[in-house]
Structure formats: C-alpha cells, structure tokens
C-alpha cells in the first residue's frame, strides 16, 4: 500500500471514529458487500458498543481488509461518510473513547481552541506549591519512560488568561493526571473539565481523605512524599499510562 493510500484510510478511520454507530456499519456492509467482514470481525462492533480504546485500531483492520478486497470500496465508504455526516465536517473528536451517544455544547467561559488531540500528551493538574516539584518531576519522568510528553499549566503561556491555557491543555491531551492532595479547588475544577471533555483521568493523592466523595469510586494512586514513595508513584503512573497506549 502506498503512502497516499495509507493516509486516505487513516483519515477515513478518524472520521468514522468521531461519529459512526452500529447501524452505520451495517449500512456500509450492505453498500460494499462486505457485511461478512464487518460483522465477522471479533472486536469491531463490540469495542464500539463498550467504548473500548482499541476501537480505532479495529476500524483500521476492517478498512484494510475491505481495501484489499476492492480498492474502489474505500471511495464508496468515504462518500457515505461525507453524505451522512456533511453537517459534522467541523466536528473535532477529542474524547478518549468513542460512544454511541454524543452531546454538543458551547462553553461560555472558554473559547474552543483551533487545536487537535495530541496522542502523546498528558496534562498534569496539581497545586503549584514548591513541595510538589519532586512529584511533578517524577510524573514527567514516568511519562517520558512510556513515550509521552507531560505538561502542567505553568509550562505554557499561550493565552492572556491562565484558565484558557488550562482548558487548551486539557482539550488537546490524551489523558489527565490529577493530584488531589490538599483538596485543591483548582484541581477539582480542572478534573471536572477533563471529565466533561471525555478524557481519561488518573487521580493520585498523598491522603485518600482528600479525594472528593464523587471521585471515590475511581481507582486512585496513593503515594508518600519520600524517595521510596516517589519511586512507587513512578511505577504506578507507568502502569496506568501503559494501559492507554
């Protein structure tokens, strides 16, 4: 497969990822005569239904098999997507997982940035106090080990207001690590933004009592602020990041 064709299939995958339903796949199967490929794939529709992280890869697998059957069929699918989702051409998909149901909203506190999801970017939300510097350095080292970049809001200054910089960072990140130590209200606010945007949130804390009641059902990494504790935190972060690669 040449590069240009590969890019076309990847682009089509991204458009399918942002909007397709099971019914759409069934219609594509009828139009292309590839219902056996689509319905016979062991993970495609299941990963769509459960919002699993391998859904994008499953789309690529199915598109490649269809393309190997008949190169003209990718054009048929592309035309179907363009016609059915013509009003969604300006939609940006930034959530961590696909979903059958979607919402559209327009924030009035932030501006929606002209940015895209950066698959290797992790946003770090934590208090800015100097005592958290070793924690920040540990998390950034863990992210680097796993092939990610990790940024805090104070690492960037692109907008006139810090809240817009924070929103932009969360908007384009693959996942968010949130340190709830000290019950910092900014971290809680930023976590709410991340959840609303459909981001993977990895909560950490020194004290489990600092986790808000509404977050206590999430698995949280607890760490101690000493050398051994930070080493354990690094291992824990690496494990969580490995699960989303």
Q: What is the pLDDT of residues 16-28, one digit of tens each?
A: 887 788 999 999 9
Buried-state track 135-157, b at ≥16 Cβ within 10 A, e below 16:
bbebbbebbeebebebbbbeeee
Contact between 98 and 44 under an 8 Å Cβ cutoff? The reply is no
Distance in angstroms (rounded) separating the CA atoms of residues 172 and 112: 11
The string of pLDDT tens digits covering residues 75-104 is 999 999 888 876 555 566 667 666 656 666
What angle is formed at CA 9 by the lines to CA 4 and CA 11, rounded to 5 degrees?
95
Q: How confident is the model at residue 107 (pLDDT cuts 50, 70, 90)?
A: confident
Confidence (pLDDT) at 93? 63
Distance in angstroms (rounded) separating the CA atoms of residues 214 and 192: 11
Confidence (pLDDT) at 234? 97
Distance in angstroms (rounded) separating the CA atoms of residues 145 and 51: 27
What is the phi-psi region of residue 166: left when phi exceeds 0, alpha when psi lies from -120 to 50, beta otherwise? alpha
Q: How confident is the model at residue 241 (pLDDT cuts 50, 70, 90)?
A: very high
Confidence (pLDDT) at 170? 95
Distance in angstroms (rounded) separating the CA atoms of residues 175 and 200: 5
The string of pLDDT tens digits covering residues 200-238 is 999 999 999 998 888 878 889 999 999 999 999 999 999
Q: Is the pLDDT of residue 37 over 90?
A: yes
Q: What average pLDDT does this structure show over 111-116?
A: 82
Distance in angstroms (rounded) separating the CA atoms of residues 154 and 165: 9
Distance in angstroms (rounded) separating the CA atoms of residues 155 and 121: 13
Confidence (pLDDT) at 243? 86
Q: Is the pLDDT of residue 67 over 80?
A: yes
| Edge-to-edge order in the sheet of strand 221-222 | 149-152, 121-125, 175-179, 200-205, 221-222
Confidence (pLDDT) at 7? 86
The residues pairing with 151 across neighbouring beta strands, listed in sequence order, are 123
Q: What average pLDDT does this structure show over 48-71?
A: 91
How high does pLDDT run on average in the chain?
88
Q: What average pLDDT does this structure show over 118-137?
A: 93
Question: Helix, strand or coil for residue 203?
Answer: strand
The string of pLDDT tens digits covering residues 143-187 is 999 999 999 988 877 777 888 999 999 999 999 999 999 999 999
């Amino acid at each position: 497969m040449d590069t240009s064709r590969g890019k076309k299939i990847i682009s089509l995958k991204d458009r399918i990822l942002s909007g397709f339903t099971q019914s759409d796949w069934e219609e594509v199967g009828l139009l292309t005569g590839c219902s056996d490929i689509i319905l016979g794939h062991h993970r495609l529709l299941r990963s769509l239904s459960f919002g699993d992280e391998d859904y994008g890869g499953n789309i690529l697998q199915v598109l490649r098999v269809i393309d190997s059957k008949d190169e003209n069929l990718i054009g048929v699918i592309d035309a179907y997507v363009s016609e059915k989702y013509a009003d969604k051409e300006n939609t940006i998909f930034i959530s961590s997982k696909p979903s059958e149901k979607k919402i559209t909203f327009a924030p009035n506190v932030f501006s929606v940035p002209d940015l895209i999801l950066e698959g290797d970017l992790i946003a770090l939300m934590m208090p800015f106090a100097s005592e958290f510097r070793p924690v920040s350095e540990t998390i950034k080292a863990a992210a680097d080990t796993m092939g990610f970049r990790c940024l805090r809001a104070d690492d960037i200054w692109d907008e006139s207001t810090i809240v817009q910089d924070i929103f932009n960072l969360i908007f384009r990140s693959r996942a968010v690590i949130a340190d709830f130590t000290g019950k910092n209200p900014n971290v809680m606010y930023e976590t709410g933004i991340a959840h609303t945007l459909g981001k993977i949130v990895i909560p950490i804390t020194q004290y489990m009592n600092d986790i808000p009641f509404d977050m206590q059902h999430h698995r949280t990494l607890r760490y101690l602020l000493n050398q051994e504790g930070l080493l354990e935190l690094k291992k824990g972060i690496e494990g969580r990041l490995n699960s989303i690669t």
